[in-house]
C-alpha cells in the first residue's frame, strides 16, 4: 500500500521544523522503527522513525528545508 508520510508534531508547542538529514534514500527498504530522517525544532534534533516496514519511493521535502507540522515529507510503499 502506498502512503504519504507527514511531518509529525513532536511536542505540544511544535509548529515548524527544519528537516536536517535523510537516513534512507529512494528505493531503499526500511523496517518499522528505523530512523527515516532527522528534524530540528528549537535547536533540538529528533529522529523520526518508520511507522511500518516498507520502501521509500519519493522524498518530497529535501534536507535542510524548513517545514511545518502536517507537511507531506515523503511517499512510501508500506508492507501489508
**pLDDT on residue 67:** 98
End-to-end CA distance of the chain: give it in Å, rounded: 7
Q: What is the pLDDT of residues 9-57, one digit of tens each?
A: 998 889 999 999 999 999 999 999 999 999 999 889 999 999 999 999 9
Report the alpha-carbon distance of residue 23 to residue 52 in Å, rounded. Answer: 15
pTM of the predicted protein model: 0.92
Domain ranges of the chain: 2-78
Q: What is the CATH number of domain 2-78?
A: 2.40.50.100
**pLDDT on residue 58:** 98
Q: For the chain, how big is the Rg over CA atoms in Å?
A: 12
8: phi then psi, degrees, rounded to nearest 5: -80, 160
Neighbours of 36 (CB within 10 A): 20
Amino acid at each position: 500500500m502506498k502512503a504519504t508520510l507527514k511531518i509529525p508534531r513532536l511536542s505540544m508547542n511544535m509548529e515548524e521544523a527544519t528537516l536536517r538529514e535523510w537516513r534512507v534514500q529512494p528505493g531503499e527498504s526500511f523496517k518499522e522503527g528505523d530512523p527515516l530522517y532527522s528534524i530540528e525544532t528549537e535547536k533540538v534534533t529528533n529522529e523520526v522513525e518508520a511507522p511500518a516496514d516498507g520502501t521509500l519511493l519519493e522524498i518530497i521535502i529535501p534536507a535542510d528545508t524548513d517545514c511545518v507540522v502536517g507537511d507531506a515529507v515523503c511517499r512510501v510503499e508500506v508492507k501489508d
